[in-house]
Amino acid sequence: MKDTLKFITWPTLAGLFAALLILDRYVLPSSPGNSPATAETVSYAAAVRSASPAVVNIYTARLVAERSQPMSGLFPGRQNLHQERRQRIEQSLGSGVIMTQEGHILTNNHVINQVDAIQVLLHDGRLAKARVIGTDTATDLAVLKIDLPDLQPIELGNSDNTRVGDVVLAIGNPLGFGNSVTQGIVSALGRYFPQQGRSNTYEDYIQTDAIIHLGNSGGALIDTQGRLLGINTLIYTAGDQGRAASPTGIGISLAIPVNLAVFVMQDLVDYGEVIRGWLGVSVEPVRRLINGSPTGQALAVEAITEGSPAQRAGIQLGDIITHIDGEAIRDGRQTMHRIAMLRPGDGIDVTVLRDKQSLDLQAIVGTLRYSPSLQ
């Protein structure tokens, strides 16, 4: 019996010992001291730490006159014509991004529109009074200025390199809670916001599913390196086709690309207004066909302003604009944005299709002084 147990026990023990060696060598995790490389937890803490000092909370106030109800019962049968006028303070909030060491802050125009006082709360707890440098209703952007030392401007990214699917972070002041961060991806590019009674030629939004709420307007949309990609400006809410009346979104958030925002900011700082390039044509996007196959968009000229750069260049009603500076038009709205960001006096080559013939024309860009619908 003992010999039998020996025969069974020794192979069993040897097997267990071998199994322990295998587990220790190949399966069980190594101690931190013995591991050649320790896997790092995926985190965006460094990006948030880099960008957060440049994101500020904006608090606004304005005096609103209101008329109290007339007193009744004093003079039966007569209406009291003397009504007491009272004023109340209406407060609002938003976010902004420090862009320069001199204290220039980008935010949304609707955050500071028609207010009487603007206070800016910095990430380090400092509070400053802000003044308005300039506003641009066409892009819903505004530039503020504060006078404080040791400001940390945000690092700029390049929104032209943004791709659908890129991870992004939104930093702002939702519902007055103070700086908060949400994470998402870029859902789409080149979006515009269809809204009744609102037509904005210069809308070119980055769409993201990073959740933002009321108070996030004017805050930063950053990449995973902490670089600014856009200014958060709109949220879409269920049952709401306009600027959100509800404080919460449903995962469709829109941001103004940083390249456009910087262009607008620089003009507002330098000139007090945005100087946009102008051709003086009204166009309608159409499908371009080659041999019966669609190859992209083109722009049909529907109206030309008298004496405009387009008229001087020889562009005519009914022309189909196919190329700008040799590049085929792929998106009509993007082409309009490109023209608007040119400087007066710049020359551009315009290729048009007229009576089935392709003509190369040159136009000298003018200054936009008319409705944005005329480019």
Q: Which residues pair with 327 in a beta bridge?
A: 324
Active-site hit among 92, 159, 180, 217: 217
CA–CA separation, 45 and 205 (whole Å): 26
Q: Would you call 159 a catalytic residue per the annotation?
A: no
Neighbours of 316 (CB within 10 A): 13
CA–CA separation, 42 and 51 (whole Å): 18
Q: Would you call 213 a catalytic residue per the annotation?
A: no
- Quote helix, strand, coil % in the chain, to nearest 5: 20, 40, 40
Active-site hit among 110, 180, 204, 223: 110
Q: Would you call 116 a catalytic residue per the annotation?
A: no
Token pair in block for residue 49: 């730490």
> Buried b / exposed e across 201-211, counting CB within 10 Å, b at 16+?
bbbbbbbbbbb
H-assigned helices in 23-173? 45-51, 109-112
Active-site hit among 92, 95, 104, 140: 140
Return the C-alpha torsion angle 92, 98, 99, 104, nearest 10.
Answer: 70
Q: Which residues are catalytic?
A: 110, 140, 217
